[in-house]
Amino acid sequence: MDTKRTRPILIVLYVGVLMGTLDIAIVAPALPQIQQVFNVTARHLSWVFAIYVLFNLIGTPIMSKLSDMYGRRLIYVIDVALFAAGSLLVVISPRDNFSDLLIGRAAQGFGSSGIFPVASAVIGDILPPERRGRALGIIGAMTGLAFIIGPLLGGLILSVADYRWLFVINLPIALVIIISGWRVLPSMHGRWSGAFDLYGVTVMSLMLSSLAFGVNQINTSNLLSSLSSPDVWPFFLVFICLLPLFIYIEAHSKNPLVSLELFKGRQLSITYLISIGIGIGESSLVFMPLLAVTALGVAKFEASFLLLPGVLALAIGSPLVGRLLDHLGSRAVILGGTVLMIIGMILIREFSTLLGVFILAGICIGAGLSSLLGAPLRYIILNEVHAWQYTTAQGVLTLFLSIGQLVGSALVGAVAQSGGESVNSYTLAYMSIALLNILLFILALFLKKRTLEQNHSEERPSQEVHGNNQVME
């Protein structure tokens, strides 16, 4: 498509991604008010975040597969509509019924699960390889922007209204996206053999729920004893037992939820492994304010502002990285990102008590994440899979990133708390992330160079037919 036709499509995609991501960050300032209104404990309150993440995790492969089966436009609009319905349920939840609020958050998480993968897949449908990097980079910037303006916008709204208005604002935005999306988004129709993979969906949902519950139940102050606790290990046991069953079901399904073809080939396997490591590295950002309180002696309120340099570097760097992708290829960008992450982690390890170096470390980490999150990995996926697998493959990538985030937050917290949350324990955690990034650097060396990546992409037409007929409207 020419620029005139693609511009309104990209705007709809960008606004949808911003809306879905914003609702994670904007809720944080409202938690004290929600706790007071519903009179719940801190452990119950944590489910305002946890249930959103859990249903987002479960919904990602489901919505991704449905998009490849029934069309990007239809599923994208349904995703936004589900998100809006969840927002409405949160708004109308009675003050004596916390369960209704959690159901609303679950619907939001499930609806938002397909927005990012579908948006990435549409970019693969409408743009040639030499223009995809820039577009994917802007999607990454939308994520960074959401985490910058989310807490600020949330605090501003709460200063004049109650928490419900944080969710009311989603409704008109979602309505505009639904109407605009139905008008401008392309619709890909696939004629697929075999029924929808209900067995795969059921086993996968149980498997991912067990993993998420197990990780959330870990007591990071004593990792080893926590893992042996009956509140934790049964969930991991269920996950381990269901994983081979899920692989068996997918291998024998006529229309698998997650095709095992998506795991064939060195390029894809390395990409998924790198995504887990990146998710772990991303989760380390959450602990920087706590380190600032311990190492720099700043107040907790002031410490949160020390995240801004890193988040700004992520937001500004993402579109720049997208441009570099179109010129240098994914391998060079990922190698550069891991180097920046290593530098940032080492600066924290050696100079965490110096404010200027602490800020510089945050910028290096944010810039490194901008070179790793989103655009480069999704760029590889679009070049490596067939058009009818675009969204499913993007969903698998998102799934691995989320698993890395879940595991990383628990492990970094465990390392920090095992040393009494001292400066040394935090810096040890960040040094562990630096070592992980060295491994990611080595893995990235085995990715295709730009010339091979380009040649492979040119050999794979974007609307190639392979076993299933597809039509782009």
Under a CB-based contact definition with an 8 Å cutoff, are residues 438 and 309 in contact? no
43/81 Cα distance (integer angstroms): 30
Assigned domain for 473 exists: no
* Of 193, 205, 245, nearest in space to 113 by CA: 205
pLDDT, tens digit (0-9, with 9 covering 90-100), for 161-172? 888 998 999 999
472: pLDDT confidence band, cut at 50, 70 and 90?
A: very low
Assigned domain for 345 exists: yes
* Of 49, 15, 28, 117, nearest in space to 401 by CA: 117
Please give the average per-residue pLDDT across 194-219, as a whole number.
84
Same domain, 345 and 403: yes
Assigned domain for 416 exists: yes
**Which string of DSSP letters, residue by residue, matches 74-135?**
HHHHHHHHHHHHHHHHHHH--TT-HHHHHHHHHHHHHHHTTHHHHHHHHHHHHS-HHHHHHH
333/425 Cα distance (integer angstroms): 31
pLDDT tops 90 at residue 83: yes
Task: Pick the more confident residue, 471 or 152.
Answer: 152
Q: Which token pair is 236? A: 């991991």
Question: Residue 59 burial by CB count (10 A; 0-12/13-18/19+): exposed, middle or buried?
Answer: buried
Same domain, 174 and 305: no
In 226-301, DSSP assigns E strands to: none
Same domain, 162 and 215: no
Under a CB-based contact definition with an 8 Å cutoff, are residues 92 and 168 in contact? no
250/219 Cα distance (integer angstroms): 34
Same domain, 22 and 43: yes
The per-residue pLDDT for 464 is 41
pLDDT, tens digit (0-9, with 9 covering 90-100), for 23-55? 877 887 788 888 888 888 766 777 887 788 889
Question: Residue 424 burial by CB count (10 A; 0-12/13-18/19+): exposed, middle or buried?
Answer: middle
User: Which residues in 257-274 are b (16+ Cβ under 10 Å) and which e?
Assistant: bbbeebeeeebbebbbeb
Please give the average per-residue pLDDT across 371-398, as a whole number.
85
168/171 Cα distance (integer angstroms): 6
Under a CB-based contact definition with an 8 Å cutoff, are residues 197 and 253 in contact? yes
Same domain, 86 and 67: yes
The per-residue pLDDT for 189 is 59
Averaged pLDDT score across all residues of the chain = 83
Please give the average per-residue pLDDT across 430-437, as a whole number.
89
Q: How far is the first Cα of the chain from the last one, in angstroms, to the nearest whole number?
A: 12
Same domain, 275 and 236: no
Q: Which residues contact 329 (CB under 8 A, 6 or more apart)?
A: 448, 449, 450, 453, 454
Task: Report the length, in residues, of the chain.
Answer: 473
Same domain, 298 and 319: yes
Same domain, 323 and 452: yes
User: Which residues in 116-128 are b (16+ Cβ under 10 Å) and which e?
Assistant: bbbbbbbbbbbbe
Task: Pick the more confident residue, 101 or 312.
Answer: 101
Question: Residue 456 burial by CB count (10 A; 0-12/13-18/19+): exposed, middle or buried?
Answer: middle
Same domain, 176 and 246: no
Assigned domain for 180 exists: yes
326: pLDDT confidence band, cut at 50, 70 and 90?
A: confident
**Which string of DSSP letters, residue by residue, matches 27-88?**
TGGGHHHHHHHHT--HHHHTHHHHHHHHHHHHHHHHHHHHHHHH-HHHHHHHHHHHHHHHHH
Same domain, 142 and 272: no
Number of domains into which the chain is organized:
3
The per-residue pLDDT for 421 is 67
Q: Which of 154, 184, 214 is the last residue of a domain?
A: 184
Same domain, 11 and 86: yes
Same domain, 235 and 380: no
pLDDT, tens digit (0-9, with 9 covering 90-100), for 228-237? 788 788 999 9
213/133 Cα distance (integer angstroms): 35
Assigned domain for 228 exists: yes
Assigned domain for 123 exists: yes
Phi, psi of 188 (to 5 degrees): -105, 120
Find the domain containing 155 and state its range.
1-184
Q: Which of 257, 274, 306 is the last residue of a domain?
A: 257
Assigned domain for 466 exists: no
CATH number at residue 139: 1.20.1250.20
The per-residue pLDDT for 223 is 62
363: pLDDT confidence band, cut at 50, 70 and 90?
A: very high
Q: Which of 184, 209, 239 is the last residue of a domain?
A: 184
Q: Helix 115-126 vs helix 375-384: angle between axes, to the nearest 10 degrees? A: 60
Question: How is residue 248 annotated by DSSP?
Answer: H
pLDDT, tens digit (0-9, with 9 covering 90-100), for 2-24? 677 888 999 999 999 989 888 87
The per-residue pLDDT for 82 is 96
The per-residue pLDDT for 462 is 47
